[in-house]
Amino acid sequence: MIFGEHRYFGESYPYDPSIAFTPEHNIYLTVEQAMMDYVMLIQYIRETYSMEDKACVVFGGSYGGMLAGWLRQKYPHVFQGALSCSGPSVYFKDAPSAPEMAYSMVATNDFKGALDKSPSLIRESFERLVNQTNNTESWAEISEIFNTCDVINETLNIHNLYLHLSNGYQYLCMTDYPYPASFLEPMPGFPVNVSASMWENVTTDGSDDPTAAIG
C-alpha cells in the first residue's frame, strides 16, 4: 500500500512554503498536474520493483475520492481499479449536475435528525450574529463570547466569523463517524449528536427577532 503525497502539501513544494501559494507560484497546483504525479509515481514503482504485471487500485475519500475516480477514467492503462468514498465528483459551483446548496441541505437534515429544533437554533444564532455586523458596540462582546484570537474591529471580522462557524457545522457532518476521530480536529463519536445534545434545553424563543442582542 502506497500513500503518495499531493504536491503543495507536506514536504512536496516546488517553492518555499512561504510563497508557494501566491498567484505567481501556485500555477503548478492543478488537478491535472497532481494526477500526472501519481501516474509517474506508479510507473516508477512498477519499473523499480519489477511490478509491471501488477494491477494498481487507487482509492481516496472526499477530494481524494474525486482524484481516484478521475485517475481511473483518464489513465485506465495505469490504474486498473478505483474506490471513491464520498467523492463529490459532480459537485461544482454553477454546475447543472448538483444544486449549489445540496450539501448544506444534507448538513441541515443531519442536525435536524439529531435534534429537531437545532436548524432553527443555528439559523437564529446566525441571524443575530450577522445583524450585529454594523453594531460596533457589540463587537467586544462577540469577541469574548467566541474567544476570538483578536478583538473584532471591522465588519469583515463578523463575516469571517460567520463563515468559520458555518464551516464548522458542515465539517461536523462531514466527519460524523460513529467513533472518535481526529481527521480534521479531535471529535467524539457521532459529533453531530453530541453537539445537538447541548441545545436540548435551549429554546427558539426570539427567533423571529433577529435584532435581539447576541448575549
In the CATH hierarchy, which top-level class contains the domain 102-197?
A: mainly alpha
Alpha carbon distance, N-terminus to C-terminus of the chain: 52
**Mean pLDDT computed over 91-118:** 88
Q: How far apart are CA 104 and CA 102, in angstroms?
A: 5
Three cell numbers, residue 97: 449536475
Residue (of 57, 207, 205) closest to 131 by Cα position: 207
Query: Does the pLDDT of residue 98 top 90, yes or no?
Result: no
Percentage above 70 pLDDT, the chain:
95
pLDDT, tens digit, 9 for 90 and up, residues 176-209: 999 999 878 899 999 999 999 999 999 986 544 4
Q: Where are the domains of the chain?
A: 1-89, 102-197
Lowest mean pLDDT among 35-44, 52-61, 142-151, 181-190: 181-190
Task: Output b/e per residue, 80-118; b: 16+ Cβ within 10 A.
Answer: eebebeebebeeeeeeeeeeeeeeeeebbebbeebbebb
Per-residue confidence (pLDDT) for residue 205, from 0 to 100: 65
Mean pLDDT for the chain? 91
